[in-house]
Amino acid sequence: MSVEGVTPRQNLLDYIRGVGLTGAKEGCAEGECGACTVVLVKQNGEGSEYRAVNSCLMLLAMAAGQEIYTVESLANCPAGAEAELHPVQQALVDHGGSQCGYCTPGFVMSLFAEYYRPGREGHCLIEAMGGNLCRCTGYRPIRDASLSLGRAPDDIFRQRLSQPAPPLTECTYADDEARFSRPASLAACQDEMRAYPTARFIAGGTDLVVEANLRGTRLPPLISLEAVPELQAWAETGDFVDIGAGLTLNEVAARWVDAPLAFREWLTLFASPPIRNRATLGGNLATASPIGDAAPLLLGLDAQLRLVGPAGQRVVSLAGFFAGYRKTILQPGEIIVSIRIPKPLPDFVRFYKVAKRKLDDISTVAACLALSLDSGGRVTKARFAYGGVAATPLRTYEAEQAVEGRRWSTSAARRAQEEISRALRPISDYRGSAEYRLALARSLVEKFAWETLEQAA
């Protein structure tokens, strides 16, 4: 499909609905409900895979050159014959998984991506629909539909996956009011930034586009980082893991096969599958949100950031990256290119997220607590990193120092808790009072101690 006469500000959902593909719906316009879900074809090894994404959080320009399936493309509708539903649609019908139907196209598309997931065995995982809300059917019939779906047949959708996905290429779209460019190199990003000094970088758009949708913010010129190879790179050696800042969270998970358990736990607690199919680590860190989940995890793992900007390249410690509430040390035009995690990883590392809901919610307090011990059980390195307890994500150095050099024990954990009480001054807001946040920060150390002491003995 070629598109003309559309402002680069328009989002993909509005566009597809405007051309009559009205299966996808707008429920929230902020990535929460999944009514707008469509499927992108993305590279997977030599072939490709389907990825469910929220079309309300993609600008149409971001879809340039990409292959996208909407719910309208699934049923087989031969001319003059009765339409034959796709097996995923049929399963939802058979199990009574739809009432008013508003959410149904979104569920269908998430389940469709799961149905054809390369390497899937057994039934479809219900977690694949973790980004879809239904207000009237109840989830049991939807779950039953998902559990009824076995191996996908060798149909056109499966055959499609043996071919590569279309590559992301550079492009520029502009009208009198908006501009979107997608350069294919770091140097070209810098050229764009010089030419449009008010521009902002955009990666997955799961923060920026929410801002535009909900607050009606007029977006400045946007420079997409999606086609820059350095941000999509992945390297692992005996000394470090180097993660391209523009890889989506699910891409990071697919590459980091021996990631610590804490990373896997962290991943499932981060938003929903469609958001994880677009959100990046670079975008999460650059927002400097005090309740962003990447910072505590990466602080606990001693991450460093490789930055490239007009003044060249520098490597900084993540611990020194946050300069204040929603502020970083990034200079104008500077890009987070990669996140480097040194090896060996700590002996014990856990990520905890306390939120009002267990899944798909924003943290009240998040913590990554990590320890390395010597053969005598003494702490050689401690990292107690938190989000949600101050204006920036932070490490509690005082608590770390209180346990380093000591045997890891309940009394060492208590010393750390006392230091945490002295060091942290959380604020109160509608997610939790200062007292509650402080109590959480302390009690997570106790939880960590209980979880690790037996293993450490």
Ligand X SMILES: Cc1cc2nc3c(=O)[nH]c(=O)nc-3n(C[C@H](O)[C@H](O)[C@H](O)COP(=O)(O)OP(=O)(O)OC[C@H]3O[C@@H](n4cnc5c(N)ncnc54)[C@H](O)[C@@H]3O)c2cc1C
Residues forming the site for ligand FES (CB under 6 A): 26-29, 31-36, 54, 56, 98-104, 134-137
Task: Report the residue number, 94 or 398, with the smaller CB distance to ligand FES.
Answer: 94
Give, in order, the Cα–Cα distances in Å from 409 to each of 206, 371, 405, 422, 452.
Answer: 41, 12, 12, 20, 9
How many Å apart are CA 29 and CA 39, to the nearest integer? 17
**Minimal distance in Å, beta carbon 284 to ligand X?**
3
Task: Compute the distance between CA of residue 3 and CA of residue 171 in angstroms, rounded to an integer.
Answer: 13
Residue 206 contact, options ligand X, ligand FES, none, Cβ 5-8 Å cut-off depending on partner type = ligand X
Q: Give the whole-angstrom CA distance, residue 105 versus residue 142.
A: 12
Nearer to ligand X, 317 or 410 (CB): 317
Of the pair 9, 383, the CB lying nearest ligand FES is at 9
Tell me whether strands 222-224 and 200-202 are parallel, antiparallel or unpaired. Answer: parallel
Q: Specify whether the CB–CB gap between 245 and 280 falls below 8 A.
A: yes
Residue 205 binding target from ligand X, ligand FES, none, CB below 5 to 8 Å by type: ligand X
Residue-by-residue DSSP string for 291-337: T-SHHHHHHHTT-EEEEEETTEEEEEEGGGTEEETTEESPPTT-EEE
Which partner from the list ligand X, ligand FES, none does 393 bind, CB cut-off 5 to 8 Å by kind? none
Would you say 19 or 136 has its CB closer to ligand FES? 136
- Minimum distance from residue 107 beta carbon to ligand X (Å): 17
Which partner from the list ligand X, ligand FES, none does 364 bind, CB cut-off 5 to 8 Å by kind? none
Q: Which does 241 bind (CB under 5 to 8 A by kind): ligand FES, ligand X, none?
A: none
CA gap 278, 57 in Å, rounded: 9
Q: Measured from the CB of residue 272, what is the shortest distance to ligand X in angstroms?
A: 7
Asked if 146 and 129 count as a contact pair (C-beta separation under 8 A), the reply is: yes
How far is it, in rounded angstroms, from Cα 416 to Cα 403?
7
Least Å distance, CB 171 to ligand FES, is 24
Q: What angle do CA 429, 434, 440 make, to 5 degrees?
A: 110
Q: How far is the CB of 317 from ligand X (least distance, A)?
A: 16
Q: Shortest distance, CB of residue 104 to ligand FES, whole angstroms? A: 6
- Closer CB to ligand X, 32 or 49, in the complex: 32
Minimum CB distance to ligand FES smaller for 27 or for 47: 27
CA 95/CA 107 separation, integer angstroms: 13
CB of 110 to ligand FES, least distance (A): 11
Between helix 139-147 and helix 104-115 the angle, nearest 10°, is 20
200 interface partner picked from ligand FES, ligand X, none, CB below 5 to 8 A per type: ligand X
Write down the H helix ranges in 99-155: 104-115, 139-147
User: Choosing among ligand FES, ligand X, none, which partner's interface includes residue 396 (Cβ < 5 to 8 Å by kind)?
Assistant: none
Structure tokens at 160: 């499609």
Q: Which residues bind ligand X (CB under 6 A)?
A: 30-32, 200-208, 210, 225, 231, 245-246, 270-271, 275, 278-280, 282-284, 286-287, 292-294, 335-336, 362
> 411: alpha, beta or left, given left = phi > 0 and alpha = psi -120 to 50?
alpha
| Closer by beta carbon to ligand X, 361 or else 404 | 361
Q: Which residues, including other chains, have CB under 8 Å from residue 90's CB and lie 6 or more apart? A: none
In the complex, what is the shortest distance from the CB of residue 97 to ligand FES, in angstroms, rounded to a whole number? 8
Nearer to ligand X, 143 or 326 (CB): 326
Residue closer to ligand FES (CB basis): 359 or 391? 359
Q: Which residue is nearest to ligand X (CB)?
A: 283
Q: How far is the CB of 141 from ligand X (least distance, A)?
A: 24
Nearest to 341 by CA among 374, 279, 299, 312: 299
CB–CB of 124/103 below 8 Å? Answer: no
Partner that binds at residue 134, options ligand FES, ligand X, none, CB closer than 5 to 8 Å by kind: ligand FES
